[in-house]
Amino acid sequence: MPVENLTPQAVRTVRFAQVLAGANQAKLTLLHVCERRTSPSQMAWIESQLSLMVSKWAPPGKAEIQIHVKPHADVAKAILNASDSADLVVLRSLPRLTSAGTEIGDFTTQLVQQLTCSVVMLGEPQRRPAGVLLNPPQRNTATPV
């Protein structure tokens, strides 16, 4: 999730993971993957912003939370590497609305297929314009006998 513009949806994802980890006395690792050329000072700033967010919204019975900011050229590989010892990965997904319904992106689909642990995906589909029906009701075209 981009730290520069934390959305309410991104915050809800982190909160969900915090509550879930706290309820199960589990360790939580919050991973932010940034570009390889990210400066150490920028990485430290990102980590401080994530720490602030975590401490601000920490639920009662806090879980042990580790924050990792990792520079990596391949986001999927960074997530896969970090998930080696995980029992569960919580992902924020940005599903798209299509004429066939809600669709998960190719990146998320490939990542979920490669993960070797359980996965919870949280996301809210993009909003469609008012008055647009994705699957309009079918008319009965059968003729009475």
Q: Please, which residues bridge with residue 4 across strands?
A: none
Residue type, 128: R
Q: Following DSSP, what letter does each residue of 83-112 receive, concatenated?
A: TTT-SEEEEE---EEETTEEE--HHHHHHH
Residue range 104-113: average pLDDT?
81
| Stronger pLDDT, 8 or 88, i.e. the higher one | 88
pLDDT at 125: 58
Q: Which of 82, 72, 83 is nearest to 34 (CA)?
A: 72
pLDDT-based confidence at residue 136 (cuts at 50, 70, 90): very low
Q: Which of 14, 5, 127, 134 is nearest to 63 (CA)?
A: 14
| Stronger pLDDT, 127 or 18, i.e. the higher one | 18
Indicate if the pLDDT at residue 120 is higher than 60: yes
Which pTM does this prediction carry? 0.70
**CA–CA separation, 101 and 134 (whole Å):** 7
Question: pLDDT for 20-78, tens place per residue?
Answer: 888 888 888 888 888 999 999 999 998 998 888 888 776 665 678 889 999 999 888 99
Q: Which of 12, 17, 31, 16 is nearest to 79 (CA)?
A: 31
pLDDT at 100: 62
**CA–CA separation, 44 and 115 (whole Å):** 28
By mean pLDDT, which of 56-60, 64-68, 102-106, 136-140 is the weakest?
Answer: 136-140
Say if residues 17 and 50 touch (Cβ distance below 8 Å).
Answer: no
**CA–CA separation, 109 and 105 (whole Å):** 6
The count of other CB atoms within 10 Å of the CB of residue 43 is 15
